A and B are shown apart, each in its own frame.
Chain A
């Protein structure tokens, strides 16, 4: 009888081993080249199949080298989690050669893992890219990131709603946020539609506002919170409250509601990054009813009608195969103007490589936006975006600001609110 049990235990053990090893065979065929040899293939991580992944595929097609490029799609939050775990564990096992990082987060990665990234200072020419991208992608005098997509923001407007209220897109061109609110009230009166969506948990709106005046949540050094006494931020808070008081904002609480609001025609304008274009176009029945005008500016001296929301850049990790990865980057996103033509034409991905904007693909007239040369306009605005150092703590500070904003909307004095968030931020980010 004993033998039977012994056999049983052995069998289970064997089954487990067999299952593990079959999984491993896949590993060898799938990604056997990672790490060890490193020279015959490189891996790249990015998110969004329709945008960044598609751009990588195009780059791979344009690339003329011996190294095989493996493109792996991961959600953005997943990439952050994986990078943080991998890099802080100190092993380079399983890490990719190339990774896409959002500009707001780049500085904190560069500071937390200084040896993990491979500098591209001698590989690319930083003058070739939009100025505002350089501050966020470099660290300690070295250029680490290869600037990729532009987060240039625009004010997407519904021309039919505006017309009903007696406005044309020209009336919204180069205006201040205060003027925007006045127009918003009229539009709501005439059409019953809200002017924009507001998400109290996502202060992208505030970020876009303060960047029009070259200001950010932190000082130039990238780490000292700059909230109390930040006039641009105070102005942005006031403007936000004015929008709430004027009742021109539709409150949304997540991305799907945000997209749903303009897809269903509930709002007359969408101030956001240009990457929203595909989502706007999703509502095919609204073709010809949209136009894009420059972002409103803060009503302050020095503010411009150009801002940014999001955007990301490529980074090469300091692991085996970094030279090959850097070379791939240089040959494609780093110098190939034709590639950028393909990117705008086929994907609608707007790069920040300055030479690319000259090409024909940028001049195309978009029927969805009433024949507007949207890409040309967007690249013109890209050059005007004030460069700011996003620093290390954008999202950490924003979490504090979200509660501050609630207090302010509930009637607390602005000065008190900003004083509170400043001390909270200082305490938390020490």
Chain B
């Protein structure tokens, strides 16, 4: 009886796992097939892998696009972690009535969809393009700035800071640390898992970000990976084998980041400081 139950559970779980992993399997199989085979739904690995990769590297500049995506994602992640944790720390440790109002306004800003602020943002960046080309239209800086920190991550850090023992701050102060010192030497190391979770989410968001880079970046040499893939699918006769190859390459970094930090991620989502 017990065995039967176990068999049932395992069959069910295997099926569920298969369903969720199937798109990935198909993607991996497709990079070894010709475009014609992909459209016909062939599920057996083929022999076209090397040709697909060759065509991919010959027809599109995938390496610069990967580099652009990496630069943007890393800087965005560092900035978000630093700014959002400083803000979250400030909101939770140094409390006052005024700050709560500011915090509520911040939370409200989470309700506004990005599409609604896109046109004004574009206008803003357009107006500073001539005076500050570093962050004007068609610069990587302009991609990073609007996402450099978001209300969500400030909220995320504040929530997690609630579990941070405030006695540690007092102890630090008594031992002669400055406020900045308390933050960097006591808060940061204690909240390691929260930082890890936030880092994964920010990195993935930034890596997959499509809409804003799309409208703000104009030169082909500044394209990020999602823009490049979108381009690949634009033709009247798309080469699906090549597109799939590009998607696999684009998926690897996020998958890698996730697997490396998976342990911390789960802990971070559950709350950083135990006990």
Contact = CB atoms under 8 A, between A and B. Distances in A.
Given A72-B220, A91-B122, A20 B36 contact: no
Chain B interface residue count: which class? 35 or more
Interface in B6-35: 35
What is the predominant secondary structure among interface residues of chain A facing chain B? helix
A379 B180 CA distance: 75
Interface stretch (B98-106, B232-240, B259-267): B232-240
Contacts of A93: 126, 129, 136-137
B107 interface: no
B235 A260 contact: no
Contacts of B251: none
A256 interface: yes
Contact of B231 (A16, A78, A276, A279): A78
B140 A23 contact: yes
Nearest to A5: B180
B139 A76 contact: no
Q: Which of B75, B118, B137, B230 has the most CB of A within 10 A?
A: B137
A75 interface: yes
Contacts of A51: 235-236
Contact of B219 (A72, A77, A279): A72
Interface stretch (B37-45, B162-170, B190-198): B37-45
Given A89-B119, A89-B122, A275 B134 contact: no
Contact of B236 (A43, A50, A82, A90): A50
Interface in A44-73: 47-51, 72-73
Interface residues of A, number: 57
Interface of A: 1-2, 5, 8, 12, 15-17, 19-21, 23-24, 26-28, 30-31, 34, 36, 43, 47-51, 72-78, 81-82, 85-86, 88-91, 93-94, 96, 255-257, 259-260, 263-264, 275-276, 278-279, 282-283
B120 A50 contact: no
Contact of A19 (B82, B140, B219): B140
A279 B221 contact: no
A78 B227 contact: yes
A30 B219 contact: yes
A19 B71 contact: yes
Nearest to A79: B234
A72 B140 contact: no
A117 B213 CA distance: 25
Contact of B39 (A15, A263, A275): A263
Contacts of A21: 134
Given A256-B39, A264-B36, 19 more contacts: A1-B177, A23-B134, A26-B221, A26-B222, A27-B133, A27-B222, A36-B130, A48-B234, A48-B235, A72-B220, A73-B220, A74-B231, A75-B234, A85-B122, A90-B123, A94-B218, A256-B238, A263-B40, A282-B36
A48 B237 CA distance: 8
Given A2-B178, A90-B123, A20 B240 contact: no
A167 B203 CA distance: 60
23 contacts: A1-B181, A2-B181, A8-B184, A15-B75, A17-B134, A26-B221, A27-B139, A34-B138, A43-B218, A72-B220, A75-B233, A81-B215, A90-B123, A91-B122, A93-B136, A94-B126, A255-B238, A257-B39, A259-B237, A264-B36, A264-B39, A275-B236, A279-B237
Nearest to B129: A93
B234 A20 contact: no
A282 B135 contact: no
B141 interface: yes
Contacts of B140: 19-20, 23-24
B79 interface: yes
Contact of B127 (A12, A91, A264): A91
A12 B82 contact: yes
A81 B214 contact: yes
